[in-house]
Structure 1
Amino acid sequence: MHGPQASCTSGLLVANRLSANPNTRVVLIEPGSDDRNNPNVTDPLNRDENANSPIDWSYESTPQSRLNDRSVEFTAGKIVGGSSMINGMMYIRTAVPEVDGWERLGAKGWNWDTLWPFYKGIERFVDPTPEQAEAGAGVNPEYHGRSGEIAVGYPSQLLTGNLSPTLAATWEILGVSVCQDANGGKVEGYTVRPMMVDRESGLRASAATAFYYPISDRPNLKLMRGTALHLLWIEHAREAGSQCIMLNESGEVIVAAGALVTPTILEASGVGNPSLLTKLGIKARVELPGVGENFQDQPDLTLSYCPKTATPGVFTPYAAFVTAKDVFGDKTEDIAAATEANLRTWAETVAATSNHVGPDAIESIFRLQHDLIFKKKVAIGEITMTPSKAIASEYWSLLPFSRGSVHLHSKTANGTYKVDIDPRFFQIDYDEQSFIALCRLTEKFLATDPAAKQVTGRIDPKADQIPTDATDEQWKSFVKSATVPNCHVLGTAAMMSRELGGVVDENLRVYGTENVRVVDASVIPLQVTGHLVSTIYAVAARAADLILGTRSESAEQ
């Protein structure tokens, strides 16, 4: 028996794979509704209607000292299928060196070569039409799977014509070359991003449509409406009570509640930092101070402009993935040296706010991250272009050094817990410095021909906030007032060595337990280039393979 597990994006994929064996029973626990006919979910063009709706958890952060003490909001899908039902549907995988870095942090056997078959295996890619190809939609056939469950391709609503070639030509002038297909592990450059949309039906492709709806009638698969609050450590079934799910001796609990919730389930179950758990009156079962730490998200900001020609009702998935050299130019080597010299200081800063994860561990992670940025030259920013009634150029940092946390805070009257979500945006000064440089590059792009001919003026920020010759201080003021989360949260139950603050081992099993695993974004130890959901699917597919493999080994023994 496998179960219970939360039914977020990754949980449905794992449940699909495990329940394929009729002798394996799987129970899914999901508090959200089965809202499969909601047009704001199914119609990709309505994707912006879901934030702050009944199917969004709308998690609030603690006030952020580097964002004018604002609380910021994290969207997350409160629905069967999780955030895959409300996300932007873009599908770009991460870069080769980033996945290889997981193994360097202690996730034995996790590297690009081992993850690659799962990236391809879950994908059902459809080639662009001739008109889409002419408009910039590219494909390298070797990079894509054709028989998986997730529909990936270029939607019929893709804007065709000469806009993408215009953007590509502008980026070329700024030294950013075209990446025809960014899904082969080299992401850097300008690209037209494929999306998780079924081109034939025109509908969103999600974890629910791919992995749950087609097999929801399996007799050995049950979806239970409810909330998984914590695990009980018991020896006899009679102690469980009517509100619990009991497992047989070979059963497992697979926590797949997402990077914001999984750590709180573990802490409520006695897994985490003993000093924190004791204050909350929770008996410490497994000492793992990394639970809820290593929180990483990407600061996000948007500049908007008046378009020369409005283009509503179409998709414009245009983006440039820019490197440190693209962002910093001739200053790159000096910034690389200064950054390296500060890694120890930054590690001490992060350690001072962490739950007993020491500076030595954090410094070793930072050195790997520095290597990715300045030696492996992976992208550090994504800059998008979305022409509609206005031209929105949204951009975010991909590899910030700041580290936040998510922890239980206090017990409520009904027995649940309040939670502190603290992303600590711009905790490290470099993150603010690089973000402002990214802002300037975005502004420069839209002031450079031929892209400049697509706009007639800037809408936001206003000229009195950010004039043409704006100072760093003016940019800092705007950044503090307008930055929001990108909602690509990961790392809070990291798959790393225990010495580095890891929470799960290379089999996704929680250290110190025999039958508890985590399979969601919280296990990914470092931020990823591209779009998080593509890597979550691949991790979940490989996790299911590992779980099935370890079960087979146990049966043979």
Structure 2
Amino acid sequence: MRHLGSFDYIIVGAGSAGCVLANRLSEDPDVSILVLEAGGKDDYIWIHIPVGYLYCMGNPRTDWGYSTAPEAGLNGRTLAYPRGRVLGGCSAINGMIYMRGQASDYDHWRQLGLAGWGWDDILPYFKRGEDHYAWEDEFHGRGGGCRVEEQRLSWEILDAFRDACEEVGIPKTKDFNRGDNFGSGYFQVTQRGGVRWTAAKGFLKPAMKRANVEVLTKAQVSRIRMEDGRAVGLDLKLGGEDASVDAAGEILLSSGSIGSPQLLELSGIGNPQVLSKHGIEVAVENTSVGENLQDHLQIRTIFKVKNTRTLNQLASNIFGKAKIALEYAAKRSGPMSMAPSQLGVFAKSDPAFETANVEYHVQPLSLDRFGEPLHSFPAITASVCNLRPESRGHIHITSADAADHPEIKPNYLSTENDRRVAADSIRLTRKIMSAEALSKYEPVEYLPGSRVHTDDDLAKAAGDIGTTIFHPVGTCRMGADDGSVVDERLRVRGVAGLRVVDASVMPTITSGNTAAPTMMIAEKAASMIREDRRVGG
């Protein structure tokens, strides 16, 4: 077995969180840092071209290739569950949307007893990591590793959708990231000059120039070694060969909401009933590991339109595709610079909600599912998701082998309230599409179909057309209670020298896309880790 030596900090996973950790912790020159990434280098061209997500999701070069268990709420369907497996992690294959969520999300965390996690507490960490193209004020920062820019395209039909939203009481906004994201606007994205900007580019690559940082790819960790209640090292496969490494200080799990609970369970930290099924000896009993899975289920409503252009027509033949490619080559603009979703809308499915409880991702295109051809007719997709679902699922190992994918069971639409929000969301979409601002485009509902009206039928239709929007969180829940997986400083309960730093620690899901909150968590974690080291905690 190859021994890799000893490091002060070992970071497991070079995704959005791991890249930030490597950058911030390596600012202290007297510590040594090892970053272990199970995937490969980010040298695949389609990572960097924004539309390349179509070629990265489902591609074993960049994606773990997970899928869910059959979902009762989705009428027995399974879903592909993309997760980045490359330097940069999900930031290399995601939708590039920069979205923090709502102030009330984080104030709720503080109300749960998590000191230091309220909106006023975490806003400085959002600002620290941000490099905004235009704003530097009380809400936005410049000079951080996360570049945020406007999209480099516009669509008449999307502008009309914004006007329609305004007609039904949803105002226009220029900034979703000031604590209240109610309104409609074009998403700002993690790009620089029409090129995807990943966490690896913004945080990890600068850190790799420092002498105290080492990064290894094709390094899949299989077990955390523990002695006398402390995490002391890792066993792993490096390029397919057995290897080990020792931790002089701390091990930081940043493998995401699937990888982090999986590794805890493989190491004997978890529910004894789960571990015993796979012959794993219990080191630390914690029945919360792998539980509390939350995700945003998007209901992909589609409307045929007339008298306007959509991507369905523009990319319908080789000449149109060539024109699109030439525009990107010359200007880094146009459809190849597109995020998967361009227009965002945050709204209330019912006026009784205090803050926006649903989010729209509106696209000037339609298709049966990502990776399949665009429809032959002009259309738009107005995907809508419940921002704060009550449904809870789990992620648990299926064997004692780290190479075997865990079971992913989100339990979508498993509560009455989630089904009601789904039905009301479709009704709200129909109301928007019926507004005067869209009348000249003569919209006709294609999915789920205008014949579907009752609550039960709409909920069933949501199960037929709903799909993940790739926001799994919560499986290593942070909490003030002894039953949580990590405490408010992200330390794993019952094990010294071990923390989890990624989206899995969220006690409740944020009201929006989860990449920016994940980087914020890592920014705050790095500050806490450095502080604890200084005081000897």
> Which residues in structure 2 correspond to 1:372-521 (within 5 Å)?
374=353, 377-388=354-365, 390-411=379-400, 417-461=404-448, 466-467=449-450, 470-499=453-482, 501-521=483-503
- The gaps in structure 2 that reach 5 residues or longer are 1-7, 237-241, 312-333, 366-377
1:185-236 Cα deviation digits (max 9, x unpaired): 111122222111113xx21111011011233233321112311122011379
2:79 maps to: 72
Distance 1:89 1:459, change over 3 A: same
Whether 2:162 is the aligned partner of 1:168: answer yes
Distance 1:185 1:290, change over 3 A: same
For residue 378 of structure 1, report the CA deviation from its aligned partner.
2.3
1:159 maps to: 154
For residue 165 of structure 1, report the CA deviation from its aligned partner.
5.0
2:323 maps to: none
1:47 maps to: 53
2:246 maps to: 246
The structure with the largest helix share of the pair is: 1
Which range moved further: 251-260 or 235-244? 235-244
Whether the 8 Å contact between 1:91 and 1:530 is mirrored in structure 2 is no
Aligned residues: 482
> Which residues in structure 2 correspond to 1:515-554 (within 5 Å)?
515-554=497-536
2:225 maps to: 232
For residue 244 of structure 1, report the CA deviation from its aligned partner.
1.1
> Which residues in structure 2 correspond to 1:93-242 (within 5 Å)?
93-127=100-134, 141-155=137-151, 157-159=152-154, 166-199=160-193, 202-224=194-216, 225-234=218-227
Counterpart among 342, 346, 353 of residue 317 in structure 1: 342
| Distance in 2 of aligned mates of 1:296 and 1:489 | 6
| Distance in 2 of aligned mates of 1:85 and 1:431 | 31
| Distance in 1 of aligned mates of 2:494 and 2:442 | 58
Distance 1:266 1:416, change over 3 A: same
1:66-93 Cα deviation digits (max 9, x unpaired): 2221111211111111000111111121
| Distance in 1 of aligned mates of 2:260 and 2:196 | 26
- Give the partner amino acid of 2:459: K
Whether 2:32 is the aligned partner of 1:25: answer yes
| Distance in 2 of aligned mates of 1:25 and 1:121 | 23
Distance 1:45 1:71, change over 3 A: closer
SS in 2 for 1:498: coil
SS in 1 for 2:150: coil
- Give the partner amino acid of 2:346: F
For residue 319 of structure 1, report the CA deviation from its aligned partner.
1.6
| Distance in 2 of aligned mates of 1:379 and 1:279 | 42
| Distance in 2 of aligned mates of 1:410 and 1:46 | 33
2:92 maps to: 85
1:276 maps to: 274
Whether the 8 Å contact between 1:305 and 1:455 is mirrored in structure 2 is no
1:495-524 Cα deviation digits (max 9, x unpaired): 11234x411111110011210000000001
For residue 105 of structure 1, report the CA deviation from its aligned partner.
1.7
Distance 1:240 1:153, change over 3 A: closer
TM-score by length of 1: 0.82
For residue 480 of structure 1, report the CA deviation from its aligned partner.
2.1
Whether the 8 Å contact between 2:15 and 2:200 is mirrored in structure 1 is no
SS in 2 for 1:517: strand
Whether the 8 Å contact between 1:170 and 1:450 is mirrored in structure 2 is yes
For residue 113 of structure 1, report the CA deviation from its aligned partner.
1.1
SS in 1 for 2:256: coil
- Give the partner amino acid of 2:141: G
Identity across the alignment (%): 29
| Distance in 1 of aligned mates of 2:224 and 2:49 | 37
Distance 1:452 1:232, change over 3 A: farther
Whether the 8 Å contact between 1:6 and 1:228 is mirrored in structure 2 is no
The structure with the largest strand share of the pair is: 2
> Which residues in structure 2 correspond to 1:345-356 (within 5 Å)?
none
SS in 2 for 1:21: coil
- Give the partner amino acid of 1:532: T
| Distance in 1 of aligned mates of 2:471 and 2:227 | 35
| Distance in 2 of aligned mates of 1:78 and 1:238 | 22
Whether the 8 Å contact between 1:58 and 1:73 is mirrored in structure 2 is yes
For residue 299 of structure 1, report the CA deviation from its aligned partner.
1.2
For residue 39 of structure 1, report the CA deviation from its aligned partner.
2.9
| Distance in 1 of aligned mates of 2:456 and 2:476 | 36
Whether the 8 Å contact between 2:11 and 2:254 is mirrored in structure 1 is no
Distance 1:76 1:237, change over 3 A: closer
SS in 2 for 1:261: helix
- Give the partner amino acid of 1:439: I
For residue 60 of structure 1, report the CA deviation from its aligned partner.
1.1
SS in 1 for 2:508: coil
